[in-house]
A and B are shown apart, each in its own frame.
Chain A
């Protein structure tokens, strides 16, 4: 099941709906890389609220989405990591170094807006 991606202004929002497979994630990565360039997006929000597991593969793919987006000129924010999921991730030894995180979609959008305001000056 592919992940739906919404465009809101200069921001792309990918809301992951349910337990997704490795393939869905890889497709999301390619899809986002393509769209960031096409829409000249300045920000990407990946909403993982519905995910109950973020294992090493998912974390690695999200990280590569963020780095790819960065090279194409967009900042990525991962939002909605659940307490249990964050806990399991650190136990596993995973982190999202260098990638912004926020509590939920609203916070993530606010964070990107603040970044954009800084950039414009």
Chain B
């Protein structure tokens, strides 16, 4: 239905690739440069989450339309170990790996909507959207 890009995330250089593609798609959708940067930063955080905890996964970028508004939706999914305590993971400063513990709650602050689904042993899926103003 609209532009969609799937970026495989397997190693850390893919993080750079994902955020560059995200920025390009955001620019094409009409986002201003400040919002492009917010989107690229949020993509960087969720992509790094995949590399750090699951090893590999995908980031899917898609321009979306709903009602009268347009936006960019980002889905980061992996088949990694999953997150045991989702509530705790969304708390500022919480981290089990090698990050600041700002990754997911930080990404949430950069976006308009954010959903985290995770099943232990099955995988994690982050779905987030930012709307054009």
Binding site for B on A (CB under 8 A): 19-23, 52-57, 59-60, 82-85, 87-89, 91-94
Q: Knowing A19-B20, A84-B37 touch, does A92 contact B109 (C-beta < 8 A)?
A: yes
- Cβ B40 vs Cβ A56 within 8 A: no
Q: Mark B43-54, 1 if CB is under 8 A from A, else 0.
A: 011001000000
Determine which residue in B36, B102, B109 has the highest number of CB atoms from chain A within 10 A of its CB, and name it: B102
**Which residues of chain B have C-beta atoms less than 8 A from A57's C-beta?**
44, 48, 99-100
Q: How many residues of B contact A (CB 8 A)?
A: 27
Q: Which residue of B lies closest to A90 (CB)?
A: B109
Q: Which residue of B lies closest to A63 (CB)?
A: B100
Q: When A and B form their complex, what is the total count of cross-chain residue pairs whose Cβ atoms lie within 8 Å?
A: 76
B92 → chain A closest CB, angstroms? 7
**Which residues of chain B have C-beta atoms less than 8 A from A56's C-beta?**
45, 48, 99-100, 102-103, 106
- Cβ A55 vs Cβ B48 within 8 A: yes
Q: Knowing A21-B15, A21-B16, A92-B110 touch, does A55 contact B23 (C-beta < 8 A)?
A: no
Please tell me which one of the listed residues B13, B37, B105, B106 contacts residue A53 in the complex, with CB atoms under 8 A apart.
B37
